[in-house]
Amino acid sequence: MITVVIKKEIQENLYSYKFMVITLLSVVLVLASFFVMHRDYAGRVEEYRLLKAEARGETAGTPPAPLSVFARGLDQTLSQQYRLLYGGDIIPGGNKESYNELFLMFPTPDPLYVVKVILAFCTILFSFNAVTGEKEAGTLRLSLSNGIRRADFLVGKWIGGFSCFILPFLVSLLLALFLLSFSPSIDLDFASWIRIGFFSLSSITYLAFFFSLGLLVSCLTQRASTALAVSLFLWVLLVFVAPNTGGILAAQLEPSPSLQQLDVKRTQIVFSGIVGTFEEANKERPEEDKMSLTVDMTKEKLAVDYANSLARQADMTRVLVGWSPPAAYTFLATDLAGTGLVEEKRFKQAVMQYSSLLLTLPRLQGGQGLRDPAPPFNYERTPLRDVLVSGGLVNLVVLLLESLLVFAGAALAFLRYDLR
């Protein structure tokens, strides 16, 4: 009997206005997002090349991630050219892009944003009246009176409804991938295609959660208007309120100094002339070298402490909001694209290790410049295995379990649903 319900659900949805609207939105938004992000990526690659060519002295940087066209995340920060100044200061390079400042107020949505916000909203609209709509039309009691079990009816509604919803998204995603495969500016190797596969799986699982959530609300209410209001409230709560509240709580529970405070402390260290902890270990050096080395290492320790405080704050944020499907999906998608918190933490550690290496190299008289050319900064992005081990699989499991739990809740509610 499940197949009968599935066929009925697919036929009704294929001829409904909702399916036409979802198809149009999915194709237009997904393709437009990939097109704009592809142009954005090509511009950032050119910008990175310009900054690298103009770099003077010791610099550290990495080119933009090709998969940032899926989830831009923190790639703008990662692809900067960091200048490593004498004394251990790490200064982000300038921006060569010429753009209207007004555009900063309206950032271009990437595919991650389209799925996380817009398509999740469409999923709610697609499923909120799955049961209440049948009841108000008078077909729910008729269907169950013809020998269809409630469990078969609900499973058939979910499979048929979600299949109709996800089909336009998959078609638009495959079309976008087909077009990207011919792009000369994006080189997708085998590992990149595996990451894209995980991104697609996580997107489907994320949307399945919201479809099940709409189905659950529909099984807990008696009227479609009530189900719509409750579903939209839950969508706003999960997508916008929960992640932002978690970030605010993390900043309170694990505070870190501001950049202005860090700059003030660096200035105080330079002008105080501290001869610190490392004086005994450097007695063989001239007095002025001892002073310079002590100041450099003290400033480096300050930078390390600041980076560690930011890392602890980021870890606290992941703990507080990791239960939320939008947060888990965002963490997973950005880490897969090489633009997430895992990549940022690893890149910052590599830059600081490179800065520490430069401090140990012999310098010219007066300390302004190295005696020999500095070794180049080499950085390889996090392998897929490390991404999955460091939290990627956990986020995917969170999405899967919460989708199953919400559907189980819908099943229990429907078993007790009042047909009158």
- Residue labelled with tokens 């894209």: 196
Q: Provide the pLDDT for residue 278.
A: 44
Q: How many domains does the chain have?
A: 1
Instruction: Please give the Cα distance from 58 to 354 (Å, whole number).
Output: 10
- 273 part of a folded domain: yes
- 420 part of a folded domain: no
- 194 part of a folded domain: yes
- 102 part of a folded domain: no
For residue 412, what are its two tokens? 């229990």
In DSSP terms, 363 is beta-bridged to 370
Taking the CA atoms of residue 232, residue 236, residue 238 and residue 243 in that order, the dihedral angle to the nearest 10 degrees is 180
- Residue labelled with tokens 């001869």: 275
Residue 363: strand, helix, or coil: strand
Instruction: Please give the Cα distance from 102 to 294 (Å, whole number).
Output: 45
- Residue labelled with tokens 């010791």: 58
- 173 part of a folded domain: yes
Q: Provide the pLDDT for residue 275.
A: 45
Q: How many CB atoms lie within 10 A of CB 314?
A: 18
In DSSP terms, 82 is beta-bridged to 60, 92
Q: How would you class 288 by CB atoms within 10 Å of its CB: exposed for 0-12, middle for 13-18, buried for 19 or more? A: exposed
- Residue labelled with tokens 């998959």: 170
Secondary structure in 3-state letters for 301-337: HHHHHHHHHHHHHHHHHHHHHCCCHHHHHHHHHHHHH
- 101 part of a folded domain: no
Q: How would you class 270 by CB atoms within 10 Å of its CB: exposed for 0-12, middle for 13-18, buried for 19 or more? A: middle
Which of 84, 68, 86 minimizes the C-alpha distance to 76? 68
Instruction: Please give the Cα distance from 3 to 204 (Å, whole number).
Output: 22
- 19 part of a folded domain: yes
Instruction: Please give the Cα distance from 352 to 300 (Å, whole number).
Output: 8
Domain carrying residue 283: 2-96+108-415
- 103 part of a folded domain: no
Q: Provide the pLDDT for residue 276.
A: 46
CB 310 within 8 A of CB 256: yes
For residue 409, what are its two tokens? 């809740």
Q: Provide the pLDDT for residue 97.
A: 46
Instruction: Please give the Cα distance from 163 to 168 (Å, whole number).
Output: 9
Q: Provide the pLDDT for residue 132.
A: 93
Q: Provide the pLDDT for residue 197.
A: 96
pLDDT, one tens digit per residue, over 90-123 is: 676 655 444 444 444 456 689 999 999 999 999 9
Q: What does DSSP assign to residue 109? A: P
Instruction: Please give the Cα distance from 140 to 210 (Å, whole number).
Output: 22
- Residue labelled with tokens 């919400």: 406
Report residues of the chain scoring pLDDT below 50: 96-105, 274-282, 284-288, 290
For residue 202, what are its two tokens? 């996580």
